Structure 1
Amino acid sequence: MKFKPKILQIATKGPLIAILNKIDVQLLNLSALDRIKIKKKEKRKVVAIDIAYGKKEVSPGEIGLFLDVAEELNIKEDDEVEVSLESKPESLQYIKKKLDKKELSKIEIDKIIKDLLANKLTEIEATYFVAACYINKMSLDESAYLTEAIVKNSGRLKFNKKPIVDKHSIGGLAGNRTTPIIVSIVAAAGLTIPKTSTRSITSPSGTSDTMEVLAPVSHSKEKIMEIVKKTNACMVWGGTLDLASADDKLIQLEKPLSLDPEGFLLASILAKKSAVDSSHILIDIPIGREAKIESKKRAKDLAKKFITLGKKLNMKIKVIITDGSQPIGNGVGPALEAKDILLILQNRNGPEDLKKKAVYMAGLIFEMVGYKNGYKKALEILESGKAYKKMQEIIKEQGGNPNIQPENIKLGIYPYTFRSRTSGKISYISNKLITKLAKSAGAPNNKGAGVYLHKKLNTKINVNEPLFTIYAESKDKLTFALKENLNNVMKIS
């Protein structure tokens, strides 16, 4: 059956969709989300259909094409296209199989990921896969297959060096910006650590958001290879690299209902590491009542799964369970965290908890690849200034100013300091409220926004001492942040 194209000046940037009038849908005996094949000369594309119920949108005899499809098939409005019926993707059978509580094979998971990346699955269909894996937990074999499928069907970086080391924190903790310090220490020792990170998803800053205060983080694969060759390291945003791109799609599907299937968590982390050729990975699981992982039992169970899955994927993995009862570092938000990092690397008065944790983790990475007394080695590299020099090299190669000083980093020009109304000892700090405050103030989009903590757990304080300062880049953002209940951020007993 032939149709006249009507080009809709909008792109889906995802599942491929065309629109038919309800009369044509009835003639073809179709339903919403059924598949049709659109053919123009030798070019063809399979798309899902949506239905127009009025003639104003798409008239009978017309087919509404989003820009993605029109451009791919080089279709113009004065063309004519042929439409035929097409069966639904094979991967839908496998999604239903998982909904039926059955285990998926390597081939079946690979097919689902292939169809996801080729935009053959609608968002509804792909979300069913996420929901199926949330309700019916994936086995470790399935997680391994998912990891391999994500890496196999996406881009990756291959380095002619071994070992390639990396680290990852499960998240859920405000601050905790250990990565730039660890990368600087480890790379200064001659190890290769190409760090691709995300921007913030739910936090006031991701590693890429913080690093972007110091240097650009969006680079091509070729540029990253060059940076790593010169410095042994990089700290870049993975979003422009097509690395583990299926994982990015799955994350977007998880977000509306905050679904986070454990099998996806495992696969997501290890796929991103595999995509940069990592062989030795240190994973940090902070635990606390407001951290992403709240119990030690759950953390230990997750640690075992990471290690077992790592063996299946030929990766050496070490997992540490750390204190997640309060933010790590003083600053929460891109610019404030960048200041903390520079102060520590310059051996100035940076936050001691962040310094100790970063040195501890760098030391463990050294020991994973055969060094003895890793903590001592990491501390020596930091205190000698070699780590700071390495950070300067990385900043320069990524296009930033290597001589930037903590004092040069601009903070929001609208600060508000909350002071103690009583004396005593700080017995509780709310990670969630600190995070919410920093985001309400504008972080991470406003780089200078965030929260600076003047006091930490178990600190003795007097009346009217500063507890924390909120920074915003506009009066409106500060006003919005101040609507939060500031009295609940810290408890004093």
Structure 2
Amino acid sequence: MAVRRVAIDTWRENVAYLHRDCSVYRAEGFQALSKIEVRVNGQHILATVNVVDDASIVECNELGLSEDAFAQLGLENGQTVTVSPAEQPASMGALFRKIDGERLGREDFLAIVNDIAGHHYSKIELTAFVVACNRGELDREEVFFLSDAMVASGQRLDWHEPLVVDKHCIGGIPGNRTSMLVVPIVAAHGMLCPKTSSRAITSPAGTADTMEVLANVELPLEQLSEIVRDHRGCLAWGGTAQLAPADDVLISVERPLSIDSPGQMVASILSKKIAAGSTHLVLDIPIGPSAKVRSMPEAQRLRRLFEYVAHRMGLSLDVVITDGRQPVGNGIGPVLEARDVMRVLENDPRAPIDLRQKALRLAGRLIECNPDVRGGDGYGIARDILDSGRALARMQAIIAAQGSKNFDHNNPQLGSLSFEALAPFAGVVAGIDNLQIARIARLAGAPKVQGAGVDLLRKLGDAVEQGDVLYRVYAGYGADLEFARQACSRSNAYRIGAIGDVPRVFVEF
């Protein structure tokens, strides 16, 4: 059949399109949602069949392929391909056993993850696996097997150094851009910190989205390696490196379902770090009423699971439990967060103190991974590096090497449309809902519109009068502004009360 590129982004799923009147579609094994094998030039992919009735999309003698499928085969429109019904993935038996609640072994997870990375599973089958692991929960040995299989599903970087450090947060706290401060601090100290980060999926910005305001983040692996060798660090998007690619496929169904079970979270984070060549990791687990983790017992259970799997995989792990009661910094959204980061690096008096302090403490813990640094001295070393301007100089060097965007944090290009959220009555800011404030920023257009987001003017414990501005919302388009305004009118994410109503903080610094 002649192949046609169908310009539809199916988000990490290979989809094939057949016209309803196509003779191939009428054959056994080619019905809607069945899987087919597409072969050309010694390559092959598996794809899920969708049926169309419009010949302008796919004609009767054509096979349409979604963006992902077309790119994998490296085709040109009109090339001839061979199609046949697909064989069932080899791991399907193991998947069915997991659905039935059985405990799986190492070889079972290797088979399942290999099929996931090879795009042999449909979205329905992926969803079945994610839900089965979530519902029955994985025991800690299974989490190790899953993590190890995910590392094996892609390439693994080797920096040929005994100490390669990284810092990661489990997420859920808007504005938490500490990585963009930790990397230049520890790199200026001489430690190797190749930071490959993700883009936002359900948050207003990922580290890669915010760094993209300052510099290019989509870098080929060769250039990335050269930058790390020259500057001891980088801040890049990890999608080009093919690190634990099965994780990216699983995330494509976990996030829409809002499934983030402890076992899957541990496997996702640790597999990415080990594949990136890290030997030492500082892990941030925030606790708060609207954070992912909401109590100290829950945080300790998660800590123990991370520590067990990390130990089995030969990764040195330092878990830090931090304040997750509210967003970190003032800005939520790529441009606003980049502004905050650069203000901290420049020791600007307008810099958010909470972002500065948290970054220094996390950087200090990483610096203490160096056996030549005495425990407790890391914070002071990190502070001296930041105050002296060495961290700023290192960040500027990394930005230049990755390709500077010439961002001016003193005149950030924010969305041209805005509105303000006002305090309904006088009192004290007694609560900020992380989930709702992130949702408002997303509805305003972040991260797709870099200048969209929320700029916080009041934090926990601040006194307010009726009519005081709590935060400003920026958007680039009228529809986005209206969606954010409607969400804000239903709940502005702030709770005004008395000073005694402010929730207690649990931190380990």
TM-score under structure 1 normalisation? 0.88
Q: Distance in 2 between matches of 1:88 and 1:80?
A: 21
Q: After the TM superposition, which residues 301-380 of structure 1 pair with which residues of structure 2 at under 5 Å, given as runs?
A: 301-349=301-349, 350-370=351-371, 371-372=373-374, 373-380=377-384
The answer to whether structure 1 residue 93 and structure 2 residue 100 are counterparts is no
State the SS of the aligned residue for 1:144.
helix
Aligned counterpart, 1:490: 494
Structure 2 residue aligned with 1:202: 202
Structure 1 segment 105-254 matched on structure 2, within 5 A: 105-254=105-254
Structure 1 Cα separation of the partners of residues 71 and 381 of structure 2: 59
Q: Which moved more, 1:328-337 or 1:143-152?
A: 143-152
The Cα shift of 1:451 comes to 1.1
Judge conservation of contact 1:21–1:53 (CA < 8 Å) in 2: no
Measure the CA separation in 1 of the matches of 2:81 and 2:347.
Answer: 69
Uncovered stretches (5+) of structure 1, i.e. residues with no partner: none
Q: Which residue of 2 aligns with 1:417?
A: 420
* Deviation of 1:246 (Å): 0.9
For residues 79-122 of structure 1, what are the alpha-carbon distances to aligned partners after superposition, in whole Å with 9 as ceiling and x for unaligned? Answer: 79585x76422200010111122222212211111112222222
Give the direction of change, closer, same or farther, for the CA distance of 1:353–1:77 in structure 2 (3 Å limit).
Answer: closer
Q: Distance in 1 between matches of 2:282 and 2:185?
A: 15
Q: What CA distance in whole angstroms lies between the structure 1 residues aligned with 2:360 and 2:187?
A: 13
Between 1:156-165 and 1:341-350, the stretch displaced more is 156-165
Q: Distance in 1 between matches of 2:465 and 2:31?
A: 69
**Superposed displacement of residue 344, structure 1:** 0.9
User: Shift in Å at residue 33 of structure 1?
Assistant: 6.0
Contact 1:32 1:51 in 2 (8 A): yes
| Structure 2: distance between partners of 1:444 and 1:49 | 30
- Give the alignment's Cα RMSD to 1 decimal: 3.1
Confirm or deny: 8 A CA contact 1:52 1:58 kept in the other structure: no
- Which residue of the partner structure matches residue 258 of structure 1? 258
CA contact (8 A) 1:16 1:69 kept: no
Q: 1:311 to 1:422 in 2, by over 3 A?
A: same
Contact 1:213 1:338 in 2 (8 A): yes
Superposed displacement of residue 418, structure 1: 3.1
Q: State the one-letter code of the partner of 1:233.
A: G
SS in 1 for 2:132: helix
- Is the Cα–Cα contact under 8 Å of residues 281 and 316 in structure 1 kept in the other structure? yes
C-alpha displacement of 1:337? 0.9
Q: Residue 385 of structure 1: which of 389, 392, 396 is its match? A: 389
Query: Matched residues in 2 for 1:324 and 1:345: separation?
Result: 23
Say yes or no: does 1:472 pair with 2:475. Answer: yes
Structure 1 residues 51 and 150, CA gap change in structure 2 (3 angstroms): closer
- Please give the per-residue CA displacement for 1:301-324, whole angstroms capped at 9, x wherever unaligned: 001110111000000101111111
Percent identity for Structure 1 against Structure 2: 36
Q: Distance in 2 between matches of 1:397 and 1:437?
A: 34
| 1:298 maps to 2:298 | yes
Counterparts of 2:79 and 2:218, CA distance in 1: 40
- The number of equivalent residue pairs is 484
CA distances 1:259-285 after superposition (whole Å, capped 9, x unpaired): 223221111101110121001101111
CA contact (8 A) 2:287 2:322 kept: yes
Q: 1:74 to 1:461 in 2, by over 3 A?
A: closer
Paired position in structure 2 for 1:399 = 403
Q: Relative to 1, partners in 2 of residues 1:353 and 1:476: Cα closer, same or farther, differing over 3 Å?
A: same
The residue type equivalent to 1:289 in the other structure is: P
Label 1:259 to 1:21 Cα distance change in 2 as closer, same or farther (>3 A).
farther
Conservation of the 8 A alpha-carbon contact between 1:418 and 1:467: yes
**Cα shift at 1:446:** 1.1
Unpaired runs of at least 5, structure 2: 498-509
SS at match of 2:471: strand
Structure 1 position 23, deviation (Å): 8.5
1:14 paired residue number: 13
Q: How much has 1:46 moved relative to structure 2? A: 7.2
- Tell me the amino acid that sits aligned with residue 431 of structure 1: N
Between structure 1 and structure 2, the one with the greater Rg is 1
Deviations 1:401-459 (A, max 9, x none): 57x54213212222323333433222112222211221122111111111111111111
Q: Is the 8 A contact 1:6 1:58 kept in 2?
A: no
Q: How far apart, in 1, do the equivalents of 2:75 and 2:450 lie? A: 41
* TM-score, scaled relative to structure 2: 0.86
Structure 1 Cα separation of the partners of residues 35 and 239 of structure 2: 30
2 CA distance for matches of 1:98 and 1:206? 32
1:451 to 449, 454, 458: 454
- Output the amino acid matched with 2:486: K
- Give the whole-Å Cα distance in 2 for the aligned partners of 1:450 and 1:199: 16
How far has the Cα of 1:51 moved from its partner?
8.2
Quick check: 1:154–1:243 contact (8 Å CA) kept in 2? yes
Q: Distance in 1 between matches of 2:235 and 2:361?
A: 20
Distance 1:54 1:336 in 2: 46
Q: How far is the alpha carbon of 1:130 from its aligned partner?
A: 1.2
SS at match of 2:256: helix
1:293 Cα offset (Å):
1.4
Which whole-Å CA distance do the structure 2 matches of 1:296 and 1:365 have between them? 23
Residue deviations 1:24-73 (CA, integer Å, cap 9, x gap): 78875887666666778x958574674869998887xx785647489959
Q: Which amino acid is 2:390 matched to?
A: K
Instruction: Indicate conservation of the 8 Å contact 1:18/1:48, yes or no.
Output: no
Distance verdict in 2 for CA 1:227–1:48, change over 3 Å: closer
Alpha-carbon offset, residue 162 of structure 1: 2.4
Which residue of structure 2 lines up, in the alignment, with residue 282 of structure 1? Answer: 282
In 2, the alpha carbon distance for the partners of 1:276 and 1:24 equals 44
Contact 1:98 1:129 in 2 (8 A): yes
Deviates more, 1:239-248 or 1:64-73: 64-73
* Counterpart amino acid of residue 327 in structure 1: P
The change in CA–CA distance for 1:467 and 1:101 in structure 2 (over 3 A counts) is same
Distance change (3 Å), C-alpha of 1:8 and 1:343:
closer
The answer as to whether partners of 1:34 and 1:88 remain within 8 angstroms in 2 is no
What do residues 152-182 of structure 1 show as CA deviations (whole Å, max 9, x unaligned)?
2213332122211001111111111111111
CA contact 2:3–2:79 (8 Å) conserved in 1: no
CA contact (8 A) 1:37 1:44 kept: no
| In structure 2, distance between residues paired with 1:413 and 1:82 | 50
For 2:487 and 2:267, how far apart are their aligned partners in 1? 36
